[in-house]
Amino acid sequence: MKNIALTMNLSFRPYELRLKHAFNLANSSRTTTPVMLVELTHGGVTGYGEASMPPYLGETQKTAADFLGKLKLSQFHDPFRMEEILGYIDSVAPGNEAAKASVDIALHDLVGKIVGQPWYKLWGLSPENTPNTSFTIGIDSPEVVRQKVEEAGAMKILKVKLGRGNDKKIIEAIRSVTNMPLCVDVNQGWEGRQEALSLIYWLKEKGVLFIEQPMPKEGVEDIAWLTENSPLPIIADEALQRLDDVPKLNGVYSGINIKLMKSTGMHEARKMITVAKALGMKVMIGCMTETSCAVSAAAQLSPLADWADLDGNLLISNDLFDGVKVVDGKITLNELPGIGIRKI
Ligand code: MG
């Protein structure tokens, strides 16, 4: 078969995700998340991708449309040349990580569908090695927190957002209803390393497993000190973007939280995992609020992760895809080719 006449065709449209609960972080609150949905077709096969753009990260539907509109993917005839295609996409403009991720995800979906296999299989990973996913509890009144814990149902680990000054109250509210293991995300909300360390000791006693981004990312020395003295692993989230950040964070944090919307997609995320593991760092795979499209893409990598926070699709009420599932708290991959989704 001559491939020369076949070209890749990219299309995209904006979509707004509705959150089941207002999402409260240390310094923001919202009820919707803007995304861009992407389709990449080649020879009658369509791959799906998504860019999720929570406002605090700086990308918007407009910046994504501008970026995607600049891409000339019709110059490529062979979607298997992923290194070349993704290198080109990255070279078109700096930044735009989520927009880049949307095309990366669609390309992976396309190639996996052409081969007829999901990516975890193409990477040689064992589906039984997927971790449990945490389920996120936003900052709220103790009453609402208790209600959310009950909604978490079969989950095996809860992620608690702290950093607004009522941390002990929130943990005690959760502990009044469940003994489930917890992880904590401070979103840079703590000030003062000594206070942070005391709180971490207290949290360890309460069954917390690790702490994500306890202090502002700029305070590298404070965080390195905290990591050295902390009885719990300290994980970088806001401090981490792409592959070249990973070696810089070695010695400052115990591990990294990789998200496709920061890493420009699955291709670079896999490289980041390889480097982090070579450096002896812990690996967590996270997400934004996303449909099952981007969450299922991230889940393909999850057999390589120590921890996962892939609940973004469970927090929305208007998903457009059926994909990986959480069964008894564990990420459960399927046999669907590509990133493991179908449209609903
Ligand atoms: Mg985080």
Check whether 3 has a pLDDT greater than 60. no
pTM of the model: 0.94
User: Separation of 174 CA from ligand 1 center, angstroms?
Assistant: 19
Note whether 277 and 158 are same-domain residues: yes
pLDDT at res. 153:
77
When pLDDT is averaged across residues 13-36 and rounded to a whole number, the result is 85
User: Separation of 113 CA from ligand 1 center, angstroms?
Assistant: 32
Number of domains in the chain: 2
Note whether 278 and 293 are same-domain residues: yes
- The torsion angle over the Cα atoms of residues 215, 242, 333 and 31, rounded to 10 degrees, is 50
Note whether 168 and 306 are same-domain residues: yes
User: Separation of 287 CA from ligand 1 center, angstroms?
Assistant: 9
Judge contact between 46 and 110, C-beta under 8 A: yes
Q: Which domain-ending residue is among 92, 116, 140?
A: 116
User: Separation of 196 CA from ligand 1 center, angstroms?
Assistant: 17
User: Separation of 212 CA from ligand 1 center, angstroms?
Assistant: 6
Note whether 97 and 141 are same-domain residues: no
Q: Find the CATH number of the domain harbouring 210.
A: 3.20.20.120
Note whether 219 and 287 are same-domain residues: yes
User: Separation of 205 CA from ligand 1 center, angstroms?
Assistant: 22
Q: Which domain-ending residue is among 70, 85, 116?
A: 116
**Percent of the residues in the chain that have a pLDDT greater than 70, as a whole number:** 97
What is the per-residue pLDDT across 261-280, written as a single tens digit (0 to 9) for each?
999 999 999 999 999 999 99
When pLDDT is averaged across residues 74-79 and rounded to a whole number, the result is 95
Note whether 37 and 162 are same-domain residues: no
CA angle 289, 97, 240 (to 5 degrees): 80
When pLDDT is averaged across residues 127-135 and rounded to a whole number, the result is 96
Query: Which H or E run includes 276?
Result: helix 266-278
Residue 176 banded pLDDT, cuts 50, 70, 90: confident
**How many CB atoms sit inside 10 A of residue 2's CB?**
6
Note whether 99 and 243 are same-domain residues: no
Which DSSP letter does residue 238 get?
Answer: T
Check whether 23 has a pLDDT greater than 90. no
Note whether 112 and 125 are same-domain residues: no
* 232 closest CA partner among 253, 251, 215, 218: 253
Q: Which domain-ending residue is among 98, 116, 134?
A: 116
User: Separation of 5 CA from ligand 1 center, angstroms?
Assistant: 45
Note whether 86 and 219 are same-domain residues: no
Note whether 141 and 238 are same-domain residues: yes
User: Separation of 237 CA from ligand 1 center, angstroms?
Assistant: 5
User: Separation of 213 CA from ligand 1 center, angstroms?
Assistant: 7
Note whether 205 and 59 are same-domain residues: no
When pLDDT is averaged across residues 56-62 and rounded to a whole number, the result is 94
Residue-number span of the structural domain to which 338 is assigned: 121-343
Check whether 37 has a pLDDT greater than 70. yes
Note whether 185 and 156 are same-domain residues: yes
Q: Find the CATH number of the domain harbouring 21.
A: 3.30.390.10
pLDDT at res. 49:
98
User: Separation of 288 CA from ligand 1 center, angstroms?
Assistant: 9
Strands 208-212 and 234-236: parallel
User: Separation of 27 CA from ligand 1 center, angstroms?
Assistant: 13
User: Separation of 26 CA from ligand 1 center, angstroms?
Assistant: 11
When pLDDT is averaged across residues 87-107 and rounded to a whole number, the result is 98
pLDDT at res. 20:
87
* 297 closest CA partner among 317, 271, 269, 330: 269
Strands 330-332 and 325-327: antiparallel
